[in-house]
Amino acid sequence: MTRKCICEICNCGRHHCPHMPTGFHDKTLQPCLLTEYNEKYPSYGDIKPRENYKPKPETLSKRGKMDGTSTFRTDYIPHEITQRPQPMQHDYRPKSGEVDHHTTYKVDFSPHKIKPAKSMRPPPPKPGKGGRIDTVPTYKDDYRLWDIPKRKPKAAEPYCPPTSRFGNPSTFQDDFGPKGYALRESFKPPDAPRVSDVPFDGLTNHKIAYIPHPLGDRYIKPPDEYKPSDIPFDSITTHRRDFRGLHGDPTKSFKPDPGKIGSDAPFDGNSEFRDRFQAWPITLPYVHKHPDYVQPEGPMDLNSTSHLDYVGHKVKPPTPFKPALTRRVHAPFQGSTTMKDDFKTWDIKKPEIIKRVEEMGIPDAKFDGLTTFKANYVPHPIKPTHSFKPSDTPLHSSIPFDAGTLYRTEYTPKRLEICPASYPTPPGYVYESTDARGHKFFHKMTQSEEKLAVPNEMHLPKEVAVAS
């Protein structure tokens, strides 16, 4: 009988088991059917969980009443929404006169009669005359082996050390020496930019030179009429022309004829096995018979050689190997060693810090706090930019607004489906058990359990899932 959890019975995705955290520390050896956490992550000793950094829920008293206003409510200003004007579409007016459908292609390229394509299939090979084929290729005749002498190994040259002394400086030290620091030259123009006093007119070359031209009517090309060809269609292909059906003899069957091989004489009962393999006399194997047990007469002597020959001796316990207690010496302990005498602590001074001499000295005068921007900047009055927003002229129409949509006309309400997991006990299931993780397992009702079930025990859930 298959068991199911609430997580598996739910079809709306809103019902699941509580998943108790103590389920991971369960000491039972039963495997979990819903997760593989215990198999992949076994427990390692008594490890305490981490401390929770969540702040404690403290009550905040002595606070004023919330007015319910927000920055969006205070700053937002409602504006009137106007409809955008729709572009006007001009009526189509066809041009007068007839259209000449002749093209340069029809004039220059005259139709020609096309012959069927030739077959690219190679001709069938002709049978040979039975002569011998020379199997020697051109590679063996033209490319032959040459006697190439082996190269002698190069004699090793003896190493001759240099006679001159190696110099300490390198090419990097010779070519790239220390250089002094120089201030970078400023590329800022000396004079401040000048602002024109003439007001900006907003005219561009496009606004001045552009001339709007009226658009003509759109030309629509009429479709060409279909003219069937006068040449009859031969419907002959290369396959039909070259590959013709030739009648051949059917293949012969290699299966032997199912004729009856035998005679009508009755079977006498003799066979090769009965003639050659005769019954030989077999003797029974020898079985050794054990004699019957006869109980000896008289009492049993329980004395052994060790019990009769052993003589007891008086043995003293062994003396301990612990050394005797030496008398204590009250003289002071001489703790000097060769290590202490030869290796003495030396007074080591801390090395001084190698500080580089600064090339630029610190000025003694007080910092005035002026920069080139503050000294050369000239404030200018700011002019507000011209708004290109259209005027708020409402565009109202006398035609009433048609609020009908395809959704309103074609929408059909869906049937409400109730999730079986929303009931205290899902319909058609019987509660079985709850494990340490908090999973509730149910199994489907049998025919005997469905007869005993009471229909009045089913209660409607508080929440209903809607399937769209």
Among 47, 35, 36, which residue's Cα sits nearest to residue 7? 35
Q: How many CB atoms lie within 10 A of CB 24?
A: 15
In angstroms, the first-to-last Cα distance of the chain is: 33
Q: Is 430 exposed, middle or buried (0-12, 13-18, 19+ CB in 10 A)?
A: middle
Q: How far apart are CA 314 and CA 270, in angstroms?
A: 94
Residue with tokens 């043995």: 315
Q: How far apart are CA 14 and CA 464, in angstroms?
A: 10
Q: What is the pLDDT of residue 193?
A: 63
Among 439, 300, 363, 356, which residue's Cα sits nearest to residue 18? 439
Burial code (b: 16+ CB inside 10 Å, e: under 16) for 164-190 equals: eeeeeeeeeeeeeeeeeeeeeeeeeee
Q: What is the pLDDT of residue 90?
A: 82
Q: What is the pLDDT of residue 206?
A: 86
Q: Would the pTM count as exceeding 0.75?
A: no
Q: What is the pLDDT of residue 130?
A: 64
15 close to 461: Cβ distance less than 8 angstroms: no
- Beta partners for residue 214, in sequence order: none
Sign for the pseudo-dihedral over CA of 167, 171, 174, 180:
negative
Question: Reading across the β-sheet that carries 440-444, which strands appear in turn?
Answer: 3-5, 440-444, 429-434
32 close to 437: Cβ distance less than 8 angstroms: yes
Q: How far apart are CA 217 and CA 223, in angstroms?
A: 19
Among 276, 5, 238, 292, which residue's Cα sits nearest to residue 115? 238
426 close to 15: Cβ distance less than 8 angstroms: no
Among 424, 425, 422, 423, which residue's Cα sits nearest to residue 449? 425
AA identity, residue 445: M
Q: How far apart are CA 11 and CA 136, in angstroms?
A: 80
Q: How far apart are CA 68 and CA 61, in angstroms?
A: 19
Q: How far apart are CA 176 and CA 416, in angstroms?
A: 86
Q: How far apart are CA 236 and CA 163, in angstroms?
A: 98
Structure tokens at 245: 């059906």
Q: What is the pLDDT of residue 192?
A: 60
pLDDT along the chain (468 residues), means of 10: 80 75 53 68 73 76 71 84 84 81 80 82 72 73 80 82 76 76 75 74 85 86 86 81 77 75 73 79 86 87 84 82 72 78 80 78 78 84 82 70 80 79 84 79 80 54 42
- Please calculate the CA angle 414-420-421 and round it to the nearest 5 degrees: 125
Q: How far apart are CA 410 and CA 412, in angstroms?
A: 6
